[in-house]
Amino acid sequence: MNHFNFHDLEECLNKHIPANDLGEVKRLLFGRSDDHAIELHSETLQLAEKYNFDARGYAFTAEEEEFRKPRIVRIAAVQNSIVKPTTETVAVQRDALHEKISKIIQAAAASNVNILCLQEAWTMPFAFCTREKLPWINFAEDPEHGPTTTFLRKLAHRYKMVIISPILERDTDHGDQLWNTAVVISDSGNYMGKHRKNHIPRVGAFNEASYYFEGNTGHPVFETRYGRIAVNICYGRHHPQNWMMFGLNGAEIVFNPSATTAGISDPIWLIEARNAAVANNYFTVAINRVGTECFKNEFTTGNGKAARHEIGPFYGSSYVSAPDGTRTPCLSRDRDGLLIAEVDLNLCRQLKDYWTFRMTQRLAEYGAGLTRAAQVDYIPQIIKEKEKPTS
């Protein structure tokens, strides 16, 4: 058994752990004994079958309150492989992905999804491993007026769905720079704004810093009709302070569209977004693409191994975590999928009141501490043994 043919962790546990232990195993591993699966609309299931993707739904509940009604929202993550060979033209590759995603969004709409997030750089192969600029940079678009935003605005308007669209951005107003950017489109089909990836990897095959720099958009929270959302793109999930700033700005759901491969990150995939949900009292949605992507020219990955043509497998395993530390099962490791979570956003404040992390986080002191630690002549607080050893 290796990670290339292991399809689904939860499926394996469900199959082999005896019924009278399974609940407790799940509670310890995933925070709750029961998956709280919800029934999806038949049209969702039909589209999933027809277009060969998984569709799964789970619920998170909150306590009833006297002064606030439940704030039930359906959020969704989409994971998918690319469609066309990377040797096709950029337009052919992109349009095929538009077509695939339109079916998945239609399936999400049929089950009343309110907010949906696509995977990182979803209109293209994750070609940054090649360090070749062409043709990949031609996938870059204007975030407000480019073809992908134009395409998704129609769907957002049609389905009254907030859509988060992570793309490669071309900023024509500022030196034609490229950025790794998430566009947020409102449920009325309007461009709300964008956020640029805050932390850029320099790891193995992930040479993205050859294309775009650390983002300059801060930590925006988008106040949508359905709740306050933010986007922590990919490698930013390794940085707890990044998650924290989105929380300080009021996020109730933070999406983490990613592209990451087996062998590099999957042992930590299940803990990072979930830990962030607990620490910041919000929902998190971890999204990763699936499949292996092949390129015409070989490339190396800075690890002494032979040049190759493939990156992957991207292992999917998208999941949703709640502020109480529970999480849904993952989507599979190798198939396209639509994950729907019905959440009550009241849970965020309930957990804030319960754990009182905001009250106890000593923010001013950490602001000063990080500022000091950032100085080139910072002297770490190190205590050495002072006395002579006893004889």
Active site residue ranges = 120, 197, 234
Cβ neighbours for 185, distance < 8 A, ≥ 6 positions apart? 149, 152, 153, 156, 162, 163, 164, 165, 191, 192
In whole angstroms, give the CA distance from residue 73 to residue 67: 18
CB of 27 or CB of 50, closer to a copy of itself: 27
CB of 84 or CB of 157, closer to a copy of itself: 157
Q: In 10 A of CB 44, how many CB atoms? A: 24
- Distance of closest approach, residue 132 Cβ to a copy of itself, in angstroms: 22
Which 28-87 residues touch a copy of itself, going by CB under 8 A? 28-32
Q: How many residues bind a copy of itself (CB under 8 A)?
A: 100
Q: Does 144 bind a copy of itself (CB under 8 A)?
A: no
Write the interaction track for a copy of itself spanning residues 97-136; mark x where CB under 8 A is met and - where it is not.
----------------------------------------
Q: For residue 91, which amino acid is it?
A: A
Q: Are 59 and 36 in contact (CB under 8 A)?
A: yes
Residue selected from 56, 74, 94, 153 as contacting a copy of itself according to rule CB under 8 A: 153
Per-residue buried b or exposed e for 88-126, using 16+ beta carbons within 10 Å of the residue's own CB:
eebeebbbebbebbebbbbbbbbbbbbbbbbbbbbbbbb
Which one of 22-30, 46-54, 133-141, 341-349 is the stretch in contact with a copy of itself (CB under 8 A)?
22-30
Q: Does 301 bind a copy of itself (CB under 8 A)?
A: no
Which 196-225 residues touch a copy of itself, going by CB under 8 A? 198-203, 214, 218-224
Which 317-336 residues touch a copy of itself, going by CB under 8 A? 324-326
- Distance of closest approach, residue 88 Cβ to a copy of itself, in angstroms: 32
- Distance of closest approach, residue 51 Cβ to a copy of itself, in angstroms: 27
Residue selected from 150, 172, 190, 210 as contacting a copy of itself according to rule CB under 8 A: 190
| Dihedral angle of Cα 236, 242, 248, 251, to the nearest 10 degrees | 0
Q: In 10 A of CB 68, how many CB atoms? A: 13
- Distance of closest approach, residue 39 Cβ to a copy of itself, in angstroms: 25
In whole angstroms, give the CA distance from residue 147 to residue 149: 6
Distance spanning both ends of the chain, measured CA to CA: 56
Which one of 81-89, 113-121, 164-172, 275-283 is the stretch in contact with a copy of itself (CB under 8 A)?
275-283
- Distance of closest approach, residue 380 Cβ to a copy of itself, in angstroms: 4
CB of 8 or CB of 97, closer to a copy of itself: 8
Residue selected from 129, 184, 253, 340 as contacting a copy of itself according to rule CB under 8 A: 184
Q: Are strands 162-171 and 115-117 parallel, antiparallel or unpaired?
A: parallel
- Distance of closest approach, residue 176 Cβ to a copy of itself, in angstroms: 24
Q: Does 24 bind a copy of itself (CB under 8 A)?
A: yes
Give phi and psi for 279, each to the nearest 5. -65, -30
In whole angstroms, give the CA distance from residue 61 to residue 91: 43
CA distances from 271 to 29, 238, 262 (A): 10, 10, 15
Q: Are strands 227-231 and 253-258 parallel, antiparallel or unpaired?
A: parallel
Which 345-384 residues touch a copy of itself, going by CB under 8 A? 354-357, 359-364, 366-374, 378, 380-384
Q: Are 148 and 138 in contact (CB under 8 A)?
A: no
Write the interaction track for a copy of itself spanning residues 223-262; mark x where CB under 8 A is met and - where it is not.
xx---x------x--xxxx-xxx--xxx------------
Residue selected from 270, 285, 311, 341 as contacting a copy of itself according to rule CB under 8 A: 270
Give phi and psi for 147, each to the nearest 5. -60, -35
CB of 77 or CB of 351, closer to a copy of itself: 351
Q: Does 266 bind a copy of itself (CB under 8 A)?
A: yes
Residue among 315, 247, 248 at smallest CA distance from 283 = 247
Q: Does 390 bind a copy of itself (CB under 8 A)?
A: yes
Per-residue buried b or exposed e for 146-164, using 16+ beta carbons within 10 Å of the residue's own CB:
bebbebbbebbbebbbbbb
